[in-house]
Structure 1
Amino acid sequence: MISKYQNLGQIGNNRPARFVAASAVILYFYFILGGIVASVPMIYAIVRNPYSIYDPLLQENAIEFMGKYVNPVANYIFSNLAIYFMLAGAFIAIKWIHNRPFGSVFNNRGKLKWSNFWIGFAVFGILLAIGTGVDYIFNPGTYKLSFDSSKFWYTLPLILIMTPIQTTTEEIVFRGYIIQSFGLKVKNGLLLSVISGVVFTLPHLANPEVYASNKLGVFSTICMILNYFVVGMVLAMITIRTNSLEAAMGAHAVNNLFCFLLVSYPDTALPTNTVFYTTNFDPVSGLVSVIITAGLFYAATAFVIKKTDKTMDGNRHILN
């Protein structure tokens, strides 16, 4: 009977060759198949506007290029669909290559515990709101109301449906599969969290925020990169601490929903019409904020889940 989250990788076939095959499938589905899907809007833009290939933005800033030639809603949809291919690859890898229940990636019960999801969602959401409020107090001139009712209500259903699937996919791969795979050899929870944070950071290095921070200097770029690492690490830590993936799923979901619906900023990866827009892009102060938020999130979420678990009959282990 397995109780620790990081040991759930022991279930099923965990021979080294299986991990090589599983990783290859996940990478193929994400980078090859997903990459083809993600490139559809850009290909459409170039076909419809042949002279756009001479636009300097195509080489200098792909996000601005897409915003100029492609409907942002279409770009949002295809970008998310590309990540869904990673989910398909993860499902195949866990279910049929490792021959273990897909539910084991969430916890040792084999099914989602929604209370943990909503705890992570609520705690991280509250901390985001407080952090944004503090930033507004110190930088009120950088915020403006950007709400456009026709665009907002049109995209709201898409964002509410597609974003949680996207964030859950990333949690399944970058937290669940990574922690459980490395957990077969690495027993230290902090080291596992560091590994998860590093792997989570790697694909985000291509985000436009990193490119934008590079214009501000090397130190700003390092801080921007560390933003991703700290988030990835603390989500891994809370996953290991609570022996379940749901709290990290909730936190990741509310973070992205907050960025896509409430407050946007320059050079965001997927521009959408939000209620507010801030021009304040400071990776250094952002890193300080992320570290504080991450620490408070970990402490509060671990405390609340521990208290609720005492009153719930949720400690049965059905995977063995």
Structure 2
Amino acid sequence: MYIKQAFNVLHEWWRYLVGFIIIFLASQIGSIPFIIAVMFKVVANGGDIETIQDPNVMMTILDSNLTLFLMLLSFALGLVATYFVVKYFHKQPFVELTTSRKKTDWGRVFFGFGLIAITTIVVTGLDYYNNPEDYVLQFDLVPFLILAVIAIVMIPMQTSFEEYLFRGYLMQGLGVVTKTKWIPLIVTSVIFGALHLANPEVDKLGNIIMIYYIGTGFFLGIMTLMDEGLELALGFHAGNNLIAALLVTADWTVFKTNSVLKDISEPSAGFDVIAPVLILYPIFLLIMAWRYKWTDWGGKLFGKVEEPVVIAEENNQNSNYIE
């Protein structure tokens, strides 16, 4: 099983705590270039540095493409740190953080990507057709091509970092420590959602948007546990963020990009905010369950994570020898 295989490597609880701290610090170091660039621009224009204490204001200082690139650097560095922590601190092959299969199933990655990409394009196209007054066509070839290069390279790093950290590293770590599946599912989903509290969407729509963020965490976690690997979650998350960055933007979203469309409508914190969690996500899970023949939902989501018998016996022998 995906979580259970972590028993085969160095999996003491303190390793996951130290590893998480290392990964967190690395991601924070990755945000320094963005902060320096913003401060340099403000000072060069004769502005007051105190005026950029608001993160949402910082996002508007630089060119949007440069902002996106620098903002995503922290995730790229976090992904690199995750790789080294797993490989050298836990002595775990990175493929075992990716999947319980012998090698990464790229077909699953592309299926998850395509599922959300096609859905997003179709839904956005229908909304544009029915409510053209809510959008502005802002396509500009050169800025868009620069955006496309940055997004295609950097956004998968951002989404992969989040998946490897939450549905991978923390899911396995909490799983082997608590020997449960539901505890890591709940904890990683809530933390994943809570980290989006700083997004401008929360200020605009209110705390109801947290239902979407936490619900998305549960959706990706369920997907990972049922499929015994990260492949579907990696593809889905990358497809969601990449298509969103390229297709449509708004002044109140975290990704303010040179996308094809700009949404100028006044957003409402109504049913449409939680509709993906209540309607789309269950449909997506049913499609994946049908395609990949998922069974034993109760066991895979709420069952115990038992340490392999051979490993347990070896640990007991080692303990007796030490005594």
TM-score normalised by length of structure 2:
0.83
Deviation for aligned residue 1:143: 2.0
- CA gap 1:190/1:292 in 2 versus in 1, 3 angstroms: farther
Q: Report if aligned partners of 1:239, 1:245 keep a CA contact under 8 Å in 2.
A: yes
Alignment partner of 1:209 is 2:201: yes
Aligned to 2:306: none
Alignment map for 1:49-68 (pairs within 5 Å): 49-53=45-49, 55=51, 58-59=52-53, 61-67=54-60
Aligned-partner SS, 2:47: helix
Alpha-carbon distance between aligned partners in 1 of 2:59 and 2:251, rounded to the nearest angstrom: 14
Q: CA offsets, 1:155-181, max 9 Å, x none?
A: 212211111121111111111112111
Q: TM-score, normalised by structure 1?
A: 0.84
Of 255-264 and 14-23, deviating more is 14-23
Corresponding position: 1:245 with 2:230: yes
Question: 1:313 aligns to what?
Answer: none
Say yes or no: does 1:12 pair with 2:32. Answer: no
Unaligned residue ranges in structure 1 (runs of 5+): 214-220, 308-319
Aligned-partner residue type, residue 167 of structure 2 = R
CA distance in 2, matches of 1:253, 1:22: 24
Deviates most, 236-245 or 21-30: 21-30
Q: CA deviation at 1:116?
A: 0.5
- Structure 1 window deviating more from structure 2 (265-274 vs 243-252): it is 265-274
CA contact (8 A) 1:120 1:247 kept: yes
Aligned pairs for 1:43-122 within 5 A: 43-53=39-49, 55=51, 58-59=52-53, 61-67=54-60, 69-122=61-114
Whether the aligned pair in 1 keeps the contact of 2:174 and 2:183 (CA below 8 Å) is no
Q: Kindly indicate whether residue 26 of structure 2 is the aligned counterpart of residue 29 of structure 1.
A: yes
Distance 1:261 1:178 in 2: 30
Give the SS at the match of 1:228: helix
> Retained in 2: the 8 A contact 1:127–1:297?
no
2:38 maps to what in 1?
A: 42
Output one character per residue of 1:249-277: Cα deviation in whole Å (capped at 9) or x when no partner.
11111111111101112322131111112
CA distance in 1, matches of 2:118, 2:269: 21
- Paired with 1:287 and 1:179, the residues of 2 have a C-alpha distance of 25
CA contact (8 A) 2:113 2:235 kept: yes
Which of structure 1's runs of 4+ aligned residues deviate more than 6 A? none
Number of the residue aligned with 2:315:
none
| 1:297 and 2:284 correspond | yes
C-alpha deviation, 1:70, in angstroms:
1.2
DSSP-derived class of the 2:242 partner: helix
Q: Which structure has the larger Rg?
A: 2
Counterpart of 1:288 (choices 275, 293, 300) is 275
CA distance in structure 2 between the partners assigned to 1:181 and 1:142 by the alignment = 45
How far off its partner does 1:94 sit?
Answer: 1.0
Query: 8 Å contact 1:128–1:255 — kept in the other structure?
Result: yes
Kindly report the root-mean-square deviation, in angstroms, between the aligned alpha carbons of the 2 structures: 2.2
Q: Which letter does structure 1 place at the counterpart of 2:269?
A: P
Number of residue pairs matched by the alignment: 293
Residues 111-190 of structure 1 mapped to structure 2, 5 A cutoff: 111-136=103-128, 139-186=131-178, 188-190=180-182
The question of whether the paired residues in 1 share the 8 Å contact of 2:59 and 2:67 is answered with yes
The reply to whether residue 276 of structure 1 matches residue 261 of structure 2 is: yes
Partners of 1:187 and 1:12 lie apart in 2 by 15
- The residue identity in structure 2 corresponding to 1:179 is M
Cα distance between partner residues in 2 of 1:73 and 1:134:
27
For the 8 Å contact 1:182–1:192, the answer to whether it is kept is yes
Q: Which residue of 2 aligns with 1:227?
A: 212
Amino acid at match of 1:283: A
- Checking the alignment, whether the CA contact within 8 Å between 1:37 and 1:78 is kept in structure 2 is yes
Tell me, yes or no, if the aligned pair for 2:13 and 2:173 is still in contact at 8 Å: no
Amino acid at match of 1:166: Q
- Do the aligned partners of 1:80 and 1:162 also contact (CA within 8 Å) in 2? yes
CA contact (8 A) 2:99 2:230 kept: yes
Tell me the equivalent position of 2:241.
256
Assess if the C-alpha contact under 8 Å between 1:103 and 1:111 holds in 2.
Answer: yes
Question: Does the Cα contact within 8 Å between 2:246 and 2:258 map onto a contact in 1?
Answer: yes
> 1:136 Cα shift?
4.1
What SS class does the counterpart of residue 227 from structure 1 fall into?
A: helix
One-letter amino acid of the counterpart of residue 305, structure 1? Y
